[in-house]
Structure 1
């Protein structure tokens, strides 16, 4: 996974969900019951192990945020390191708790690791993976701006990318159609349609005189005309197939 949501708040929420799920799974399924634990002991096991998962994941959240702030990137190796850190902490905490006077577990570390930790990891790892993938979707989208420059240094327009509707040729100028407080506005800039298309490859040509931002495409009015946000434009036969694929 080459992307990360660095928000500690979101990852604490993941830790809480992981904690609740771990408690329910441990209490009802009892995946490592060895016949010497009564109900009260098993409740203590379930509570302790689930809180261990919460604490371990909070440490992971802090660790990954520190790393991400330093290098401002994420990769698969760093992603794997978060799982290693989580299970390292989880193993130390749970084994210490398991051997304490609270539980007085019978397993030595090797058996504890193979019979308990590995089995837990096989079940919990996919849950962590899915929750971390979902956290990426919670990253707030940054507003992306585009700056359209003309031949004159003072001739430019800076707007949000999603506010740009289309660009039309107008002799030695291009006419920019954009939204300003949901109102359709235009601005003439001395440039060429070819230059605009080269600089902003997200624009789609629909006519020799028109480029559109596909996010504003609404519908076909007829076979040669399309409706965009607050404007209609003609479509040339040569460019029709591209639009039909949208």
Structure 2
């Protein structure tokens, strides 16, 4: 089993990381003065050095689509391998971009620029050792914060007695069907539809979670997954995501139509 790693998919938090990265790169270069930086006057430092920081922040943002591609490939789960791949790829591209900036902006018109090997040894790799921890800490902290928020938002469908329950996000729950002394819970795990049998009564779940709608004496549905209405042999059916169809008895038709209209508007 692949080891999961804290991950925050929210774009605004990654913008914050890119901003912190840009500021930190500028501060690092301004005060450590690697290579020819100590030969710049104050104005030149303020002209050229922010460019390195800006490029670092932009490189991070440009790599976000690649990050989300990896995220979807692992069914919306972020692994340690994904994190390593992202960081290594980002580091390599950042070095290439920084090298191009040095050759075609900093040293344009100048002869004998430093070689790539020399710059790797004296500035790029030492800079990465200083800069990467900022990225790692920021991503890890936001990932943990996101996981905590998700955990706090979860609901728990408990089983009677010693029977195990189910803890999940409300929007991952699609519907619940009564089955004798049990209930069958249809829910999402990543992008996969799953079903879990729990010893409990549908009436108890109905009372505990008013967000769910009663469509039938044997069914509760989550209006978040509503797709459309359907009539078959004179009977009303509510169609949910993942091609799940649930009958609607005449007793609940008026109430559920009003509730669906209210929640989907």
Q: TM-score range by the shorter chain?
A: 0.5 to 0.7
Q: Determine if contact 2:37/2:45 at 8 Å carries over to the other structure.
A: no
Cα pair distance change 1:153/1:138, threshold 3 Å: closer
1:45-77: per-residue Cα shift (whole Å, max 9, x none)? 311110111011112322212211232222222
Q: Which residue of 2 aligns with 1:39?
A: 42
Q: Which residue of 1 aligns with 2:155?
A: 145
Distance in 1, Cα, partners of 2:94 & 2:82: 18
Distance in 2, Cα, partners of 1:52 & 1:43: 15
Cα pair distance change 1:16/1:30, threshold 3 Å: same
Q: What is the aligned residue count?
A: 164
Cα pair distance change 1:122/1:148, threshold 3 Å: closer
Q: Does 1:85 align with 2:95?
A: no
Distance in 1, Cα, partners of 2:54 & 2:22: 6
Candidates 13, 16, 40, aligned match of 1:13: 16
TM-score, normalised with respect to structure 2: 0.54
Q: Determine if contact 2:22/2:57 at 8 Å carries over to the other structure.
A: yes
* SS of match in other structure, 1:100: helix
Deviation for aligned residue 1:35 = 4.8
* SS of match in other structure, 2:156: strand
Q: Determine if contact 1:19/1:51 at 8 Å carries over to the other structure.
A: yes
Q: Determine if contact 1:91/1:117 at 8 Å carries over to the other structure.
A: yes
Q: Determine if contact 1:26/1:46 at 8 Å carries over to the other structure.
A: yes
Answer with 133-142 or 54-63: which moved more: 133-142
Cα pair distance change 1:44/1:34, threshold 3 Å: closer
Q: Determine if contact 2:67/2:86 at 8 Å carries over to the other structure.
A: yes
Q: Determine if contact 1:68/1:74 at 8 Å carries over to the other structure.
A: yes
| CA radius of gyration, larger in | 1
Deviation for aligned residue 1:120 = 0.4
Cα pair distance change 1:158/1:60, threshold 3 Å: farther
Candidates 112, 118, 128, aligned match of 1:111: 118
Cα pair distance change 1:24/1:114, threshold 3 Å: same
Deviation for aligned residue 1:33 = 4.0
Q: Which residue of 2 aligns with 1:241?
A: none
Deviation for aligned residue 1:152 = 3.4
TM-score, normalised with respect to structure 1: 0.57
* SS of match in other structure, 1:145: strand
Q: Name stretches of at least 5 consecutive residues in structure 1 with no aligned partner.
A: 160-175, 181-246
Distance in 2, Cα, partners of 1:55 & 1:117: 17
* SS of match in other structure, 2:133: helix
